[in-house]
Structure 1
Amino acid sequence: MENTVKVLRELVESSGNIVFFGGAGVSTESGIPDFRSVDGLYSQKYAYPPEVMLSHTFFENRPEEFFRFYREKMIFTDARPNAAHLKLAQWEREGKLSAVVTQNIDGLHQAAGSRNVYELHGSVHRNYCVRCGKKYDLDYVLRSPDIVPRCACGGMVRPDVVLYEEVLDGEVMNKAARAISKADLLIVGGTSLVVYPAAGLIRYYSGDKLVIINKTPTLSDSGADYIMEGKIGEILSQV
């Protein structure tokens, strides 16, 4: 661990345009379970597979069941930013980090103080009416007396998150790709890099300082310049 931290510290000190690309593993240290680990969402038993209950079709056809699952398993109001979120926000304040690209929908990067965050899969903190487009915050959804939150116009209020069967926001993807392409240091952390098209964004990096930090091997390890095994928060907190 000591050597890993030393190497990463030197990389950060020699860089002026860092971009961080993160996944569910960034938030597990805040108490939010990921999808694919032993204790993850995919390992739990439900009436339908999680990828079915979080699909556009399921949302349309079974909104009450969707919202029951969504409220119970996708919203964590007690979660707080951990050491990884805080370190990234610090680097941004210091002018070293230009962007955070995240697959997470929990808003913890912003809660830690990060400003330039590209949320590839949306955010639980943004919600909108499917009929009139009116926007609502998370508190409105949580305070709804009905399982399915409703707008004043009567339309369903849905989370502004990308469900299975839906496409990612093209503008957010383009901005993230642009940021990654300009980075002199790309740190990838807490992601297995199996979810596409998001995982494909790291291909836009053309530098020679691609760092992957994860507890387990990823599909992109062979293309990395540095591989560091461990928890992202524990490693970044020591840099």
Structure 2
Amino acid sequence: MGSIERLKDIIKINENIVFFGGAGVSTESGIPDFRSKEGLYNQHDIQFDKYNPEYLLSRECLYYNTKVFYEFYRQKMDTRSVEPNITHKVLAKLEEQGKLKAIITQNIDGLHQKAGSKSVFEIHGTTQRNYCVKCKHEFESDYIFKSEDKIPACTECGRPVRPDVVLYGEKLPKKEVEGAIKAIESADVLIIGGTSLSVYPTASFISYFRGGHIVVINKDELNIMLNAESDIVILDSLGNVFNQLDIK
């Protein structure tokens, strides 16, 4: 039996599946992978060339080089016109069918929710929420992108409004992390897709899995221990795989 057929069987007989996804989920919607050779960090405009790429999305840049931070953020992080792809849609359908219990995503674009998923743990935050750095007043998802000020200001206290994204130098959100780990601990099936598992501590979350099957869907092999009897590795794009699942 081929890997796709095995995956279909696993999905068919299990109703406690968790999906753990990385940048590869969103690249097929046209969002660059931060760490690929063609990724966001390598698409340098002249005004950003003198900065380390990680610095441009860091807490340090936000607070000490604020105008540069917001210029980069507006140019590179605006996903308002991006639509979910087949992977987002199939995962939403599996949740609707009661098979998928949670999505754990390293992406910040909000495409899982746009596709209809409800149980999503955004462990790196999201561009879909914004808040004031001082009074914590919340603002709509496109407030920063629509603001004509170089530094978008809070309408309540006048301080900068920032995206609810985990920047370099910041801790992961406790509630999201706890929810993600709990979901993985209780899952019967863990599907890992579109991630190199190179970002820590996020990558360590999979060590909490105690279920029966791990399914890895990625273009490149991952350096993780798998069980040849129960686990599956599919070296392909998520789009190719999810298009073959025939989930209606």
1:12 aligns with 11
For normalisation by structure 1, the TM-score amounts to: 0.96
The 5 A counterparts of 1:123-202 are 123-152=126-155, 153-202=157-206
C-alpha displacement of 1:233: 2.0
The one-character-per-residue Cα deviations of 1:160-191 (angstroms, maximum 9, x if unpaired) are 00000000011110111000111111000000
Correspondence for 1:228 among 220, 234, 247: 234
Contact 1:92 1:98 in 2 (8 A): yes
The one-character-per-residue Cα deviations of 1:119-164 (angstroms, maximum 9, x if unpaired) are 0000101000011110012222111111211001111000000000
Correspondence for 2:211 among 190, 207, 213: 207
1:64 aligns with 67
- SS of residue paired to 1:138: coil
1:96 aligns with 99
Question: Separation in 1 of the partners of 2:109 and 2:56?
Answer: 18
Contact 2:24 2:195 in 1 (8 A): yes
For normalisation by structure 2, the TM-score amounts to: 0.92
Structure 1 residues not aligned, in runs of 5+: none
- SS of residue paired to 1:177: helix
C-alpha displacement of 1:43: 3.1
Contact 2:191 2:217 in 1 (8 A): yes
- Sequence identity (%): 48
Aligned residues: 237
Contact 1:123 1:160 in 2 (8 A): yes
Question: Separation in 2 of the partners of 1:28 and 1:120?
Answer: 18
Q: CA RMSD in A?
A: 1.3
Amino acid aligned to 1:232: L
Structure 2 residues not aligned, in runs of 5+: none
Contact 1:194 1:219 in 2 (8 A): no
Amino acid aligned to 2:126: S
Correspondence for 1:74 among 74, 77, 81: 77
Q: Which runs of 4+ in 1 moved over 4 A?
A: none
Question: Separation in 1 of the partners of 2:67 and 2:42?
Answer: 23
Amino acid aligned to 1:70: Y
The one-character-per-residue Cα deviations of 1:84-118 (angstroms, maximum 9, x if unpaired) are 00000000000000000000000000000000000
